[in-house]
Structure formats: C-alpha cells, structure tokens
Structure 1
Amino acid sequence: MPAPAFPTATHTPLRGGPTLRWGVIGPGEIAGDFTDALHAHTDQRVVAVASRSLDRAEAFARAHGVGSAFDSAEAMAASPDVDVVYVATPHTRHLPDALIAIAAGKHVLIEKPLATTPAEADLIGAVASDAGVLAMEALWTRYLPHTTVMARLLADGAIGDVRLATADVAWANDLSAPGRMTDPALGGGALLDIGVYAFWFTQFATGHPVERHATGSTRADGVDLDAAVVTRTADGVLATAATSLRATSPGIGAVLGSGGSLRTLRNLVFPTSFELTTASGTAIWDDPSVPTGRQGLAYQAAALASFVDAGLRDSPLHSLADSRSILSTIEAARASLTVVDDV
C-alpha cells in the first residue's frame, strides 16, 4: 500500500508579489530578526524605525539597513513613506502602539499576542475596521509552509475526524533576572509570550473552544510561571496545551484523528517537518528550501502584503476572531492559577 501523499504548500511566495514599505515600532531583538528576514528573503523593505530613544532607533537603523529613524511612534506613523507598521514593543504596549498606527491610516502587524485581553483585541478590531485598514496578529507560525500543508490535510479529512490535539511550548527562564519575561508591567509570564503558540496550535487543529479548564502557578506579582490547559469545542473535540517558564519542552504539536495523526518533528513554533500517519503508513513532509529559525518571520510579511493588495481587512488564515479566542483561553487560564511564593 502506498504511503500517504501530501498536498502542495500554499504559503504566499516570498518574492515576486506586492511589496510594502514597513515601519517598525520597538527596536528590540524580534524587530531586528524580522527586519533581517524581510531584507534577506523577500521584496518587502523596512524603511523606518521608531523608539522613544532616538539613539536606539538610529543604532537599529544602522545595524539593519533601515533608512529613517524616529523618536516617537506618532512621528513615524505620520510619515507618507510608511505603508504598514510592525508593532514589536512589549505586550502591554501592543494596544496603544497599534492604535497610533491605525489612527495614522496605516495597516498593522502586531507581534503576538495581539493584545493582553480579549477586550483590547476587540478595540483594535473595531478601530481598524472604522479606519479601513488591515490589523493582523504576527502569529508567524500560521504562515509557514508546513502549517499550510497541515491545514490542507485537516480540511481534506486526511486523518479523519479530529478527536484530540496536544501541544507543549516551554522554555526555562532565569526568574530572578530582570527583563520583560519577568516584569508584570510588561505582561511578563509564560501564557502571553510562549503559551500563545501552544494555544494557537490546538485551536488551529480543533476550532475555537467553548470550555476551558486550567491549572498552574503564578507569582504574587502576576507573572505566571506555568499552566496546563484542557479545552473542548462545541463538537466535543478535546485539546491539551502546556507552557512553562520553569522547564524547556520539545515543542511538539500533534493532532489525532479517527483515521490517523499529524505530529511535528521539531518545535512547532519554527519552520519544521512533520509526519502524517494513516492506515496507508507514515510519511514525512520536509522542505529543506524553507528558511530556518526566525528567518521564517518573512512569510507573515509576504502574506500581509498579499492581503492588502487583495483589499482584505482581516487575515483569512489567522483572523482577529482567532486571536481573540486565544486571548480568551489565556484569560481563563490565568484566572485558574495558584499563587506560589517560592520563586
């Protein structure tokens, strides 16, 4: 019996499509990786960067080949040379910085999580709709080639009816070290920063949950340390997702169906290969031409440019409703955590 076959990846091509001029708010590590990925692998160009510190903005511009540096998000967003703004500031700044860009009539790609609460997500969506611009969460994993193939397999019923999805995304952190991961004022903690990937994957596989049950721990200052979450959809499909700042996991995502399964072979967050198992046997999907690691950030930018060119105001792959549903899971999980005082 022949091994199961794979559909063609449907990701947006990195080159040859519509291009936009990008401005970046927040010259941190992820913004640098994003800019380098765009310049190395796409026709998109980052033309401006903004920071409250002009020195930081200018240093970023020199390091990453960006033409203009601004000392405020407002000044950059007002520039006629910028078509779209990438919000790469800490979590608690996503809402205000997105609103600045939207008010200037710019499309926005907002680093995950879209916001810190469902209510903030609703506000971003409403304001973007009123302004007639596209607002999109930078859940970059959804736009990677392997994810588009998995989506097609699920839609085609390649593994039958989905019964269960599982995901773990955890990275050990030094909880005594300063920085955004441990700063409650910046939305620090596992849930918003890395748990979002696990909750995205299980939701991607099963659909939006209607039940959420969680357990885990949080510090008294509100920085959540770990969580395990069980969800159920209206159709009764279960999922389990786990995240932690106190341990490192393989980051494996799996989808189990009535007729087979899908399982990533490396961390689900990054470009990876995966295996498909059905009654016909097991086959591995892999594409060595796909840029590795954070170079894969390029795919979401090419996708956004294609959506704007098509006149779309919401991502057809990862909608604002999808982002809001993930934040609802995070909000429910946070409410169920137990305060610990030994860390």
Structure 2
Amino acid sequence: MSKTYKWGILGAGRIARKFANDLKYVEGARLYAVGARTADSAHEFAIEFADVKEYDSYKKLVSDPEVDAIYVATPHGFHHEHVMLCLEHGKAVLCEKAFAINTREAKEMIALAQSKKVFLMEALWTKFNPHYLKTMALIRSGKIGKVKSLHANFGFKPFEPVPQRLFDPLLGGGTLLDIGIYNVFIALSVLGRPDVIEATAELSDKGIDMQLSVLFKYKGGEQAQLFSSFYTDLSNECDICGEEGRIRMGTRFFAPDTSITYYEGKPDTAEVIPYHREQGFGYQYEARHVQECLTGGLIESPVVTWNDTIVQMEVMDEIRKLIGVSYPKDK
C-alpha cells in the first residue's frame, strides 16, 4: 500500500491557497494542516479547505509529528527563517521562490538540509509544468536549430491593496526577486549561466528596482534580454530564437495556461504547438515530484538541484550588485 503524505502549509496567502487546491490532483497527498501568523488567518484557510488542522503559529505546525512535508509559502524575505525552522524539526520542505534573499542564506539553508539529512527543494513550479517540458523537448530536438537569443519580459502594475513585500527592502522588495526571477530562470534553463552580465534599473526612493533591464552575454555570441517592471502590465512572453526558427511561449510564459507557438520563418508561419495540461493551477506537478523524491529516500531533487538554486541566487546577487540594490539582510 502506497504511503499518504500529509502536507502542512506554512503561510495562508494566495499562493498557499493555490498549492493547497492542487494537492487534490496528487495521488497519495493529503492537505493536513496550515500554520499562519494569526488564529484568524489559519481559521479562514481551514474553513476554505475542509478537514484541515489549523495552527496559529509556524512553530506549532512544524512541531506536529504527523506532518510529512511543508510547503513554505511566505514572502521570500522570510524564507530563510521559516525553512530553517522546518528543517530543525525534521520536516521535508518545498520552499517557494525566490528561495532566499541572497546566496549566503541559500547556502545556509542547504547546509542544514544536508546535515539533518532532510529533503529541501526550491519550488520552481515552471520546471515541472507541461508547457515548459514541451518547449525544452522541442529545443533539444533541434526544432529551431542552435539557440542564439532569448527575450523575456514580465511586468504588472500592482493594484490595491499593494502587498508590502513588493516595495520593502526588509522583505527583499523589487521586481528581480518577485517576478524577474522567472526571466532569469528561463534564460539559465535554455542558455545556461552567462559569461557576462549587464544590468540597469530604475530604483525607488527606498532603493528597490521598479523596472529592470538585464543582458546575458555568452562566449558563443548568444544573448538573453530580460525585462521586468512594476509600472506596466506587460505581455509576459518569452521568445526563444534559433538559427532555424523561433518558439514563443505566450502570455504568462511561466505558467501552464500559456501557449506555445513555433515560427519556421516570418510571423505568418506560426504553428500552435499543442500540449496536455491537467486541471488546476499547475502546482500539483512539483508536489508530485516531491513525493516521488521522498518515496525514493532522496534529500535533493534531481530536477531542481541545490546547485541550480545556488547558481540562480548567485546570478541574481550579481544583478543586484550591478544595479546598486542592497538589502539589510545582505549585511
């Protein structure tokens, strides 16, 4: 008889609710408990999702011996603190991105997972979604020939009430760690770590990036142009351009409800590439992978490795250094 994994959710916000919803599509998964900062938040979450234990503190959640794995869904400014709490209590962790504020924090989190021999993975959900897998398979097949450039943008204009985490340096505010990370992720996935990084940004009066332009350069001549903004609702698309064609991941290129279009030549050669997606928001794929890892006795994912996370954090640290964004937790 296969094991049922009892999931705890640390944080009771919007992303936590989406992940909790998608657990019903994962065989052997049970939404077991939620931990929130207040009793009211935990209770509201528990009402929405029936038969869920509610805890009015994160410490109480991680202390529950029945919890097998915890999804950390708090703002990234708190990830280091909350992941360390989970690991200290021997709980397997799936931590939302951005994994941490900086590379130092990320390395400390991974080091504790190693020493405790407890599973830890960054929740880069895109890497498990069917549209991403289909796109990467097309690239590997030579569909567009040698990739020479990538162009990704992600922008939105926050609406009221504006989350504090977006603009507060104490919480790792700015476009890079909130949405620009998707641009960095897809560039690293397709082209690898760049040899040269150039970046420019407009900073707020609090010193966080309101809009950001990044250029990755590679020794083979390849380039990636990445743009993120809190000023405008952008198309949020990604073009991957090769010597023999182009692939466009449409609006919300990072999510399973996007589209994939192949262009052999000019725009009138467009061919929509079909792919199958399940019901739900798309978080079930990463949850399913975590359970497979736990069943196999792994403490590190072979898909989103610890090195993947460190490289991504190092690249984002370098970008922040170039644009002059420093957080209190960097000191």
TM-score norm. by structure 1 comes to 0.86
Aligned-partner Cα distance in 1 for 2:71–2:275: 28
The counterpart of 1:199, out of the listed 167, 184, 191, is 184
Say whether residues 1:154 and 2:142 are aligned partners. no
**Cα distance, 1:217 vs. partner?**
1.1
> How far, CA to CA, are the matches of 1:153 and 1:319 in structure 2?
23
Cα displacement string for residues 203-226 of structure 1 (whole angstroms, at most 9, x for unaligned residues):
111112232110011113132201
Secondary structure (helix, strand or coil) at the match of 1:76 reads helix
Q: Hey, what's the Cα distance between the residues in 2 that align with 1:19 and 1:298?
A: 15
Aligned to 1:89: 74
Cα 1:332/1:143, change in 2 over 3 Å: same
Matched, 1:22 2:11: no
- Contact 1:27–1:88 (CA under 8 A) maintained in structure 2: yes
One-letter identity of the residue aligned with 1:222: G
Equivalent pair of 1:50/1:70 in contact (CA under 8 Å): yes
- The reply on whether 1:111 has 2:96 as its aligned counterpart is yes
Superposed CA deviations along residues 219-240 of structure 1, whole A, max 9, x for unmatched, are 1313220101011245543211
| Cα distance between partner residues in 2 of 1:176 and 1:64 | 24
Cα pair distance change 1:18/1:228, threshold 3 Å = farther
Q: Determine the C-alpha separation between the residues in 1 that align with 2:96 and 2:6.
A: 17
Match of 1:58 in 2: 43
Q: Secondary structure at the match of 2:217?
A: strand
Structure 1 residue 328: Cα displacement: 2.3
Q: CA deviation at 1:289?
A: 4.5
Q: Summarize the Cα distance change of 1:163–1:175 in structure 2 as closer, same or farther, 3 Å threshold.
A: farther
Q: Secondary structure at the match of 1:158?
A: coil
Offset at residue 166 of structure 1 (A): 1.4
Choose the corresponding residue for 2:271, options 283, 299, 305: 283
Indicate the residue corresponding to 1:309 in structure 2. 295
2:329 match: none
Distance apart, 1:102 and its partner CA: 1.0
Q: CA deviation at 1:175?
A: 9.2
Go from structure 1 to structure 2 and tell me whether the alpha carbon gap of 1:220 and 1:331 turns closer, same or farther (over 3 Å shift).
farther
Question: What is the match of residue 328 of structure 2?
Answer: none
The letter of the residue matching 2:65 is P
Amino acid at match of 2:310: R
2:283 aligned counterpart, secondary structure: helix
Gaps of 5+ in 2: 326-331
SS of the residue corresponding to residue 296 of structure 1 reads: coil
Q: Percent identity?
A: 30
User: Structure 1's 300 and 176: CA in aligned 2 closer, same or farther, altered over 3 A?
Assistant: closer
What secondary structure does 2:74 align onto? coil
Decide which of 248, 253, 260 is 1:268's aligned counterpart.
253
Report deviation, 1:152.
1.9
Give 1:12's aligned residue. Answer: none
* Superposition deviation, residue 278 in structure 1: 4.1
C-alpha separation in 1, matches of 2:83 and 2:218: 31
Distance 1:286 1:97 in 2: 39
> Alpha carbon RMSD of aligned pairs, Å?
2.4
8 Å contact kept, 1:169–1:249: yes
2:188 and 2:83 map into 1 onto residues whose CA distance is: 25
- C-alpha distance in structure 2 between counterparts of 1:222 and 1:17, whole Å: 50
Q: How does 1:160-239 map to 2 (within 5 A)?
A: 160-173=145-158, 177=162, 179-233=164-218, 235-239=220-224
5+ residue gaps, structure 1 = 1-15
From 37, 41, 53, the equivalent of 2:22 is 37
- Of 243-252 and 131-140, more deviation after overlay is shown by 131-140
Note the C-alpha offset of 1:307.
2.1
1:146-173 residue CA offsets vs partner (Å, 9 max, x unmatched): 1111222223333222211111011112
1:329 to partner: Cα distance: 2.6
**Structure 1 stretch displaced more, 240-249 or 123-132:** 123-132
SS of the aligned residue for 1:283 comes to strand
**Secondary structure at 2:240 match in 1:** strand
Q: Which has the higher contact order (CA 8 A, sep 6+)?
A: 1
Alpha-carbon displacement from aligned partner over 1:26-58 (angstroms, at most 9, x marks no partner): 11111011111222x223222111123122212
Quote how far apart the aligned CAs of 1:101 are: 0.8
Relative to structure 1, the CA distance from residue 144 to residue 235 in structure 2 (aligned partners, 3 Å threshold; closer, same or farther) is same
Q: After TM superposition, give the deviation of residue 274 of structure 1 in Å.
A: 0.4
Residue 114 of structure 2 is matched in structure 1 by: 129
Q: Is the 8 A contact 2:130 2:277 kept in 1?
A: no
CA change 1:178–1:164 in 2 (3 A) is closer
Deviation of 1:18 after TM superposition, in Å, equals 6.5
- Alpha-carbon distance between aligned partners in 1 of 2:183 and 2:50, rounded to the nearest angstrom: 34
Aligned amino acid, residue 111 of structure 1: E
Q: Structure 1 249/17 Cα, relative in aligned 2: closer, same or farther at 3 Å?
A: farther
Q: CA deviation at 1:17?
A: 8.3
* Map of 1:3 onto structure 2: none
Distance across 1 between alignment mates of 2:117 and 2:219: 32
